[in-house]
Amino acid sequence: MGDTSVPMSLDGLLEPLSRCLDRESAKRVIEFQIDAAVQARAAMLAGKANEGTLDDERSEYEAFVDVVELISILQLKAQRQLERNAS
């Protein structure tokens, strides 16, 4: 069964994808880091969102949040794939 924090349809798409990862690919997904400049931009947008001053940039910030969530899910699935392959 999939991760209960991930919508079932998204889990259904990502679980088979994670099974395509070999050991090296899974490690690279797990180790992936977002570029420092992109992180800085996201932090600035998050600050504006918290202050309530995020207007024209709202769609950019929402897209960033969505992509970071997707990356995090893929990293979790890659970690689980490595654990499955180790046993």
For the chain, give every domain's residue range.
8-86
Reported confidence tier of residue 11, pLDDT bands at 50, 70, 90: confident
Under 8 Å between Cβ of 11 and 71: no
Take residue 18 and report the two structure tokens written for it.
Answer: 């994670």
Q: Whole-angstrom Cα distance, residue 53 to residue 17?
A: 38
Confidence (pLDDT) at 61: 96
- Judged by DSSP in three states, 3 sits in coil
pLDDT tens digits, one per residue of 35-75:
999 999 999 999 999 999 999 999 999 999 999 999 999 99
Q: Supply the pTM of this predicted model.
A: 0.81
Confidence (pLDDT) at 15: 86
